[in-house]
Amino acid sequence: MDSDEDDFVFYGTPIQREEDLTSRKKKAIAESSAQLRTLPSWKQEVRDEEGRRRFHGAFTGGYSAGYYNTDLEGRFLGTSSQFDTFGFTAAEVARKEAEKEQKQRPSIIPGPVPDEIVLPATESVGVKLLLKMGWTRGRSIKDSHADALYDARRQARRAFLAFSSDDPKLKITGSESIKDDSENFPEPPVNEDIQSSKSTPVYVLNPKQDLYGLGFDPYKYAPEFRGKSAPGFGIGALEELDAEDEDVYATGYEFEDTYVQEIEEPAKLSLEFQKKKDQKDQGNLPGFRIASNSDYQMERFEAPLIPKDFVPHHAFSGPLEINHKNHGIPPPDVPPPEDSNLKILIEGVANLVARCGKLYEDLSREKNQSNPLFNFLLGGTGHEYYARKLWEAQQKCIDQPKQQLDGKAPPGVKRLTAESRGQILGERPLERSSHDPSPSDASTDVQLQFNLTDTFINSAASFSEIPDSEKPFKDDHAKQERFEQFLKEKYKGGLRSTSSSLAGDMSEAARARERIDFEAAAEAIEKGKHGKGNKLLFPSSMDFIPGGVMQFTSGAAEAKKDLQTEDLMGKKMYPKREEFQWRPSSLLCKRFDLIDPYMGKPPPAPRIRSKIDTLIFTSDSVKSNKVEKFIDVKQDISHVQETANQDISKSIAENEAEVDVEVENIERPVDLYKAIFSDDSDDEGEELNVKKMENQEKKAEVANTALSRLIAGDFLESLGKELGLEVPPDMPYPAQISRNAVLQKEIINENARSGNLMAENNSEMSQNHGLPNDQDIAHESGPSKVDAIYGNMLESGSTKTKGTSISNSKLSRSNRENGDDDRKLKSPVTSHRDYSSSLSSEEERKRKRSRHHRHRRHDAGSDSSSDDERDHHSSRSKGRKKGSSHEKSSGSRKHSKHHKHRRHESPSRSSHRSMEKDDTHPRKEKRRR
């Protein structure tokens, strides 16, 4: 676009079209003067010199900001015209061109230069002229200097030559000689020219724009970026090239090269990288050379002189030292005393002393002072022999630990000692210690064979010295022995006994089986040796099942399982089919043109992680309810004073019933809970019954109370013990009565109200369920007796429970009165209901999973989580209420069930009495909120 316009302009700047400008300017001036005259200053408009309204400052760097500025003539206005944002004037074109040019020009300040600082300028006339004369940018103007110097030298040399040789030819062929000279000239003129004529050094032309020092390697800590192809489209800058980005298919084919060629400047790039690599290889920084002799020299010290008599042996200053104080000077070998008994005694004592230390000697000396047999200890007969034996035994004791340290002779392993070998070779046995290293049960020829192989084969460090921990048959000593023999036969070669006499008593089949075991074990050990370099492979128990299948209990050895057996197992196991529930999204079904199998069902629950989770959840809510109750109870206690418990129990029963009505509605898969709560719904009808049937309840209630109280009391006690809570002494019945009586007054009042509320709730619910209220009422007549049982149950549990129900009703009343925030206020009530409903449901659950009960109890006992959480739960449980009790069957059946189980349940509630105190405070606060 620009080029089109500029086609005709070779020199100079195009002439601006003045007419337009001037006319506008005039108009502007006229306007502004008029404005100035007529308008107050705050009404005057800011216009530029061409009469256009201007934005303040933002686009012109503030030059035209403020309203008087525009009246200034000259510089400001001039610049603003140059920076006109909207108009596309000739000046604008010029500026753009200048900007373009500026980019090519070397700049002292790195980076883009702010326009305000450096005003764009077209080339000066001088530059233009120079350019026309053939000067190019970056060259110094006086580049003739070098040539001049060179010329001068040449002249001088020519003169010199001419003078010295005095040869006329030279003068004629001067030009040639000059040519030669120029060839021989140390600094070729071309080079010189280039080097000296450059006025602008490279670092100015390409200014350093970063802050990195010499030798900085940007890839030092990110080698993965070195030389890699550019990241692909859509790959974030932070995505590294991981292991997965490696070219797994790279075998034999170098595709990397082709990638590089695809990139715009492949050759240059690769060259650069090559160079960098080379430099790296040489360990050089660019511009540096490795010094031929370095200043830095490692200071070396001579090794310390070791005294000639130094013995590299650390002497321990311990009891051992005391023991062996005389081991340097062996006592003279003395013939044993004639008395063989004494000889044995001496030997035995010597061994013991050697093993147990000097202390033992002293002790026995002291003990046996009077005993003439032990005279040798006191320097009597046989003392020299004793000293000798003691020394021998001590020597042995010293050797043994050494051997063990070497790992060559663990205690349990047969090891050929000099004695045994001598014995084998038929030598007269020397005096031997009581510890006989050779197994006595092995028959002699086998022993011989063993020892022979041991003798013949030098590489003793293999299976004969399996450390104790590597013995796969540690438990069965005989078997272990056989195993070792097997190993020797297998790996050592040498003589071979065809019939293993060690396993002489075994049946052929058993032997064969054992042999398989041994094979497997040997293989495992071998593998372990190869793989882990003699590390302990079989840490603890490694059992070999007789069937030939190896079982490793340790995880490390698991991989060593026989592949074949694994294969066999794999075939047996796979393929394995499992089925799960899966919920396709409705949209997916739609797109697949299928009917959503879950259509109309509630949205899927967040995945149930495990059964335990859900259990914990329910118990949690239950607990919160309980706590609530207790608090209420406490508050109510103050009101409590006297009389008839019948009404109370009635009210309790009512509340209880009401509670039962509120069936747990759960945000979990429906079927599960359907299964659990299938017969919940009958309760709905009951709550209304309760009111009517109060009187009938009373009798049954009294009768049941005693019984259930007994049971509950027991249970409470045991539960309390279990939970580590202080179990309050069982309240005497009369006391309860009196309390109940007090409550009664209030309750009587409230019964009506709570009843109302209940009815309301009920209707609400029935609406939710699509059940008409009448139906519920029709139901009423039946289960009165059962309700009575409820009441009893509650009563029997503890006073506090009773109070609870009362307070609940109270609460509900207050809720009603307040009435403003239905949801929030109702929550305690609901939660209470929920609790009992969960109780009722619990029986069923109990039947299904016995675990539940424990869980719940545990939770309720230990957990005292925040109020908010409880709130949450209770509100949630409220939500559950809706649409829960779908299918309900006969109430009586259910209640009988309740009766059965309730006994166990109610005490668990009351057992939390002691917790109540702790929970009261936060509760109160919460209520105030």
Partner 1 sequence: MSVEDLPRKESNILKEHDGAVLGVRFNSDGNYILSCGKDRTIRLWNPHRGIHIKTYKSHGREVRDVHVTPDNSKLCSCGGDRQVFYWDVATGRVIRKFRGHDGEVNAVKFNEYSSVVVSAGYDQSLRAWDCRSHSTEPIQIIDTFADSVMSVCLTKTEIIGGSVDGTVRTFDIRIGRETSDSLGQPVNCISMSNDGNCILAGCLDSTLRLLDRSTGELLQEYKGHTNKSYKLDCCLTNNDAYVTGGSEDGYIYFWDLVDASVVSRFRAHTSVVTSVSYHPKENCMVTASVDGTIRVWKT
Q: Coil, strand or helix: which one is 1? A: coil
Q: From the list 252, 335, 372, 600, which residue makes contact with partner 1 (rule: CB under 8 A)?
A: 252
Binding test (CB under 8 A) with partner 1, winner from 577, 609, 928, 929: 577
Nearer of residues 42 and 233 to partner 1, judged by Cβ: 233
DSSP state of 556: G
Among residues 120, 174, 437, 584, the one that binds partner 1 under rule CB under 8 A? 584
Q: Of 120-128, 517-525, 595-603, 609-617, which part binds partner 1 (CB under 8 A)?
A: 595-603
Which of 163, 574 has the CB closer to partner 1? 574
- Of the candidates 825, 828, 856, the one whose C-alpha atom is nearest the C-alpha of residue 843 is 856
Residues from 205 through 244 that contact partner 1 (CB under 8 A): 231-235, 244
User: What is the closest distance, in whole angstroms, from the C-beta atom of residue 568 to partner 1 in the complex?
Assistant: 12
Query: Contact with partner 1 (CB under 8 A): which of 315, 509, 563, 587?
Result: 587
Site string for partner 1, 820-859 (x = CB under 8 A): ----------------------------------------
Query: C-beta of 226: minimal distance to partner 1 in Å?
Result: 19
Cβ 585 to partner 1 shortest distance, Å: 5
Please identify, using beta-carbon distances, which residue of 418 and 588 lies nearer to partner 1. 588
Residue 883 near residue 768 (C-beta atoms within 8 A): yes
Q: In b/e form, how buried is each residue of 542-561, taking b as 16+ CB within 10 angstroms?
A: bebeeebbbebeeeebeebb
Judged by CB under 8 A, how many residues of this single chain contact partner 1?
A: 41
Pair 340, 431: CB distance under 8 Å = no
Contact 884, 670 (CB under 8 A): no
- Residue 326 has a CB neighbour count (10 Å cut-off) of 12
- Given the rule CB under 8 A, which of 169-177, 578-586, 774-782, 879-887 is the region that contacts partner 1? 578-586
Pairing mode, if any, of strands 542-544 and 550-552?
Answer: antiparallel
Among 338, 593, 774, 820, contact with partner 1 (rule: CB under 8 A):
593
Residue of 39, 594, 608, 612 that binds partner 1 (CB under 8 A): 594
CA 321 to chain centroid, in Å, comes to 53
In contact, 539 and 556? CB cutoff 8 Å? yes
| Footprint (CB under 8 A) of partner 1, residues 636-655 | none
**In the set 460, 589, 637, 725, which binds partner 1 (CB under 8 A)?**
589
Closer Cβ to partner 1, 232 or 729, answer by number:
232
Measured distance CA(882)–CA(884) in Å, rounded = 5
Distance from chain centroid for Cα 71: 70
Task: Give the span between the Cα atoms of 689 and 897, in whole angstroms.
Answer: 19
Select the residue interacting with partner 1 from 164, 580, 638, 928 (CB under 8 A): 580
Q: Tell me which stretch binds partner 1 (CB under 8 A): 289-297, 479-487, 593-601, 723-731.
A: 593-601
Q: Which range touches partner 1 (CB under 8 A), out of 168-176, 379-387, 575-583, 725-733?
A: 575-583
Span near partner 1 by CB under 8 A; candidates 85-93, 249-257, 297-305, 839-847: 249-257
Greatest Cα pair distance, the chain, in angstroms, is 157
Under 8 Å between Cβ of 196 and 143: yes
- What is the CB-side half-sphere exposure of residue 216 using CA atoms within 13 A? 7
Q: Which of 573, 606, 610, 820 binds partner 1 (CB under 8 A)?
A: 573
* DSSP letter (8 states) at residue 469: G
Specify the 3-state DSSP secondary structure of 435: coil
Judged by beta carbon, residue 210 or residue 579, the one nearer partner 1 is: 579
Q: How far is Cα 522 from Cα 520, in angstroms, rounded to an integer?
A: 5
Nearer to partner 1, 114 or 232 (CB): 232
- Residue 286's alpha-carbon distances to 203, 204, 227, 618, in angstroms, are 15, 19, 19, 72
Only one of the segments 218-226, 248-256, 361-369, 719-727 lies at the binding site for partner 1 (rule: CB under 8 A); that segment is 248-256
Residue 479 near residue 511, CB atoms below 8 Å: no
Stretch of residues binding partner 1 (CB under 8 A), selected from 13-21, 324-332, 581-589, 871-879: 581-589
C-alpha distances out from residue 327 to 388, 389, 419, Å: 10, 12, 21
Amino acid residing at 855: H
Q: Which stretch binds partner 1 (CB under 8 A): 583-591, 691-699, 793-801, 821-829?
A: 583-591
The answer to whether 595 contacts partner 1 (rule: CB under 8 A) is yes
**Rounded least distance, CB 550 to partner 1, Å:** 19
Nearer to partner 1, 227 or 879 (CB): 227
- Residue 234 or 770: the one with the smaller Cβ distance to partner 1 is 234
Contact between 575 and partner 1 by CB under 8 A: the answer reads yes
Sole window of 254-262, 339-347, 467-475, 654-662 interacting with partner 1 (rule: CB under 8 A): 254-262
List Cα–Cα distances, 375 to 95, 337, 340, 342, 383, in angstroms. Answer: 124, 13, 15, 10, 8
Q: Judged by CB under 8 A, which stretch of 433-441, 517-525, 585-593, 673-681 contacts partner 1?
A: 585-593
Judged by CB under 8 A, which of 124, 136, 175, 251 binds partner 1? 251
| Rg value, the chain, Cα | 53
Could you tell me which residues are beta bridge partners of residue 242? none
| CA-to-CA dists, residue 140 to 121, 145, 741, 747, angstroms | 21, 10, 116, 110
Which amino acid is it at 54? R
**Length of the chain measured in residues:** 929
- What is the C-alpha to C-alpha distance for residues 226 and 217, in angstroms, rounded to an integer? 10
Q: Which of residues 256-285 bind partner 1 (CB under 8 A)?
A: 258-259, 262
End-to-end alpha carbon distance in the chain: 73
Report in angstroms how near the CB of residue 58 gets to partner 1 at its nearest. 38
Q: Taking CB under 8 A as the criterion, which residues in 665-704 touch partner 1?
A: none
Residue 46 · residue 64 · CB < 8 Å: yes
User: In this chain, which stretch among 251-259, 536-544, 674-682, 904-912 interacts with partner 1, using CB under 8 A?
Assistant: 251-259
Helices 799-818 & 611-637 angle (0-180, nearest 10): 90
Asked if residue 600 binds partner 1 (CB under 8 A), the reply is no
How is residue 98 written in tokens? 């200048």
Of 209-217, 250-258, 672-680, 791-799, the segment contacting partner 1 by CB under 8 A is 250-258
Choose, by CB under 8 A, the member of 55, 225, 255, 456 that binds partner 1. 255
CA distances, 53 to each of 49, 69, 77, 614 (Å): 10, 13, 13, 72
Nearest to partner 1 of 94, 260 (CB atom): 260
* DSSP symbol at 302: P
Supply 587's token pair: 């949209």
Which one, 158 or 583, has the nearer CB to partner 1? 583
CB of 5 to partner 1, least distance (A): 36
Rounded Cα distance between 668 and 674, Å, is: 10
Q: How far is the CB of 527 from partner 1 (least distance, A)?
A: 21
Residues near partner 1 (CB under 8 A) are: 231-235, 244-245, 247-249, 251-253, 255, 258-259, 262, 570, 573-585, 587-589, 591-595, 597-598
